[in-house]
Amino acid sequence: MKRNTICCIYNSGPHYRWPIFKALADNFDIDFCFGSNTVYTKSIKTFDYSKLPGFTRLLRNRRIFGKFYWQSGALRQLLKPYRQYLMLGEAYCLSSWIIAFAAKLLHRKTVCWTHGWYGRESGIKRIISKRFYSMFSEILTYNDYSGNLLAEGGIPRSKIHTIGNSLDSRKHRAMRSELHSTDIYSSHFGNTDPVLLYCGRVQQSKRLDLMIEAAHILQEHGTNVNLAFVGADNEHVGLEDMAHRVGLQNKVWLFGPCYDDNKLAELFYNATVCVSPGNVGLTAVHALSFGCPVITHNNFPFQGPEFECVRPGLTGDFFRQNDAADLARVIAKWLGHTARQREETAKAAYAEIDGKWNVDSQISVFKSVLKQKN
């Protein structure tokens, strides 16, 4: 029986990462080891590991102290004749340090798949993480911003590659031909006012209060908008109370969590703009996949890597962080777009996603750093 030559060790398999892991299995001789739970956010659903070709071992993520943890069973992969290791590049995972160091001694290739630096790291954190990244043969970062920070910090540019991030891009691309205007919002709100959509976990750190405050500012200046919030509210943020205090109780729709791709596509396509007042994350990729522009804040060290797919004036815009008045100003600019401008925005959004933020682009990068499947 032929042995796979690559081992992928990851902290967990979030449901939205199934497409890229399945593509890896289809394109490489690779085994997968996943953690039994997400270390920081246990509420994130994981896909069924048993359905992934090459799934080999379930690791136990054991918290040591603070954010540091250990993956029980991970070191055993060093005893197998793998030639390459593809690993989540997280310095908090103490077992990853040992695997990266031991693999280097064994002359085996290691590829670090990581967020990299954000630009807000303290001196000691930069020193520790730089030592961690320096052990790897190659480093894959989700955006150019992070890769540039690593290079400026002394990591050799030649080993840094931008890989982007993705959702189910092949499926989403195929769905575009079915997109059309519906009454999903007008039937709920009973009006045809523009719709500001938020999609993601409803929690305090997302600063959704800014979105409600911006809508109130717009209303005071004679512009009415509807607000739709799609996502689970596990922190009981109290959006309804916020809206009621400023007289917007009839302009807010708490849609709740949604995992139906067709329904999400309809929500994005029919919204005027997607707003992420806090860090934006994969919501930006999701929205642009269905032609919806994205507005988020401009303090990049406190952003998710996907902020880079927001091209000011083309696929969305940025506002001054924590400034509701500036958010209202930026939203107003997009509310004034003509039908033709909205079509151009959708084209630009599709081009951005199809150019970089998709599974096929990621696999192309993987092929440049990993030995391809025969």
Amino acid type, 249: Q
pLDDT at 48: 95
* Residue 130 main-chain phi, psi, to 5 deg: -65, -40
Question: 239 with 229: CB under 8 angstroms?
Answer: yes
Residue written as token pair 């891009």: 169
In this structure, the strands spanning 109-114 and 273-276 are: unpaired
Residue range 6-166+358-369 in CATH 3.40.50.1820: no
pLDDT at 136: 98
What is d(CA 348, CA 163) in angstroms, rounded to the nearest whole number? 20
316: DSSP letter = E
CA 337 to chain centre: 27
Residue written as token pair 């289809």: 26
Question: 231 with 257: CB under 8 angstroms?
Answer: yes
Closest among 154, 228, 176, 189 to 350, alpha carbons compared = 176
Alpha helix stretches (DSSP H) within the chain: 18-27, 94-105, 123-134, 144-152, 169-175, 186-189, 208-220, 239-245, 261-270, 283-289, 324-335, 339-355, 359-369
Three-state secondary structure of 221-276: CCCCCEEEEECCCCCCCCHHHHHHHCCCHHHEEEEECCCCHHHHHHHHHHCCEEEE
CATH 3.40.50.2000 positions along the chain are: 6-166+358-369, 172-355
Closest among 147, 154, 78, 77 to 112, alpha carbons compared = 147
Question: 103 with 78: CB under 8 angstroms?
Answer: yes
Residue 131: which residues within 8 A CB-CB, separation 6 or more?
none
Q: Based on C-alpha coordinates, what's the Rg of the chain?
A: 22
Assigned token pair, 296: 């988020």
pTM for the predicted model, two decimal places = 0.94
Closest among 49, 52, 59, 114 to 87, alpha carbons compared = 114
At 166 the three-state DSSP class reads coil
pLDDT tens digits in sequence order for the chain, 374 residues long: 557 899 999 999 999 999 999 999 999 999 999 998 766 655 678 999 999 999 999 999 999 998 999 999 999 999 999 999 999 999 999 999 999 999 999 999 999 999 999 999 989 999 999 999 999 999 999 999 999 999 999 999 999 999 999 999 999 999 999 999 999 999 999 999 999 999 999 999 999 999 999 999 999 999 999 999 999 998 899 999 999 999 999 999 999 999 999 999 999 999 999 999 999 999 999 999 999 999 999 999 999 999 999 999 999 999 999 999 999 999 999 999 999 999 999 999 999 999 999 999 999 999 999 975 54
In this structure, the strands spanning 68-72 and 55-65 are: antiparallel
pLDDT at 3: 72
At 112 the three-state DSSP class reads strand
pLDDT at 365: 97
- CATH T-level topology, domain 172-355: Rossmann fold (3.40.50)
pLDDT at 42: 59
